[in-house]
Structure 1
């Protein structure tokens, strides 16, 4: 693949530029990285990357892949991360966007993501809104946020899939397992666009586009795993343990 040129409108925050000097070599040391479809990331202009969510390590994996394509990583992240004293400063300094679910400010993240995309940035969203709770690690039924951003901006939507990150940072652990070295794969698919139909409301359009988004992501995860995905995705609303909605054990 020919070398990609940097888009001047995508400015890497200084903290990321400095941090990657140390962090990226470490990630190469502890994982075998496999990036697929970097050419599907637009060289210029804004876009939305949508991806399945397995592990706390996912943003590191996707961020590493994006940086290899000269794309500064910017994520929609749960607002609780912005309440941790040191992490709060890092999240703000690197341009991450808080998602305040269940509050009057819930729509602010869609507006902030829209402004970033309009400015030529690529924003990454995990449509499930939390780590998957599917018993076999398949993607769950998604929330509507990613679709709302896609409909509001009309920007290209780039489906992505990852695998191997849960082995690096297992669910429920407080730190990654750096040894043995694990394979981590991130794949980016061809972009598509979303728009509201004349015969549907905004909410109906968001539901349809959410189904469309997961219809792209789930088969890609199946390819990475070498397995056939389930016909019906796990519905997290049926779980007794729903921390993203305030229902804990």
Structure 2
């Protein structure tokens, strides 16, 4: 009986050890390599939709306190840091409340002057090319029960992406000129009339707040359904979005 008891004890100990090792491995992967992230709002439509699940590359911009769970104050600045490029889609800690993760597109780099005039983006006094390319009449993409204009912007470095224009002459279509401070970035959502971004309460985003770059959508489900509701997959999963790159 003593031998059997020792075997049972050893079996439990081994199971606990395996679980701990698996959790530590998952923590290392999440902290230093990839972090899964779900899209909670429509601010990045049409690029990202509510119900999209994507992987964020953690090493893209180096590491800061924002790289770690719960944002612990371990050190200042970034290590192995590199700058994001204009047009990158980035997850970052919301400056007024760092416990919240936001996802937007990098529009302005340190020293840039950014302004919206009549719905057109200006960088350093020059208009960013903006072309009306189509209309979308799909509430799953636009959240509107009517056709919505889609514009394609092309940044000075050649990065091109689509934006929605839900409301002509909205509050965010005309702004003051923002001058991005050193060590900060100017972020905007692709859904220009429905995005809380650097034009509003987000403000300039410090480099220390960057979590990582959005890379690939690995799952997407519509209708506010949970991925765990497998019975809804045949009708609600957006199969065309699975394993697509974030542009």
Give the shorter-chain TM-score range: under 0.3
Q: Select the structure with the greater relative contact order (CA < 8 A; seq sep ≥ 6).
A: 1
Give 1 or 2 for the bigger CA radius of gyration: 2
Looking at secondary structure, tell me which structure has more strand per residue: 2
Looking at secondary structure, tell me which structure has more helix per residue: 1
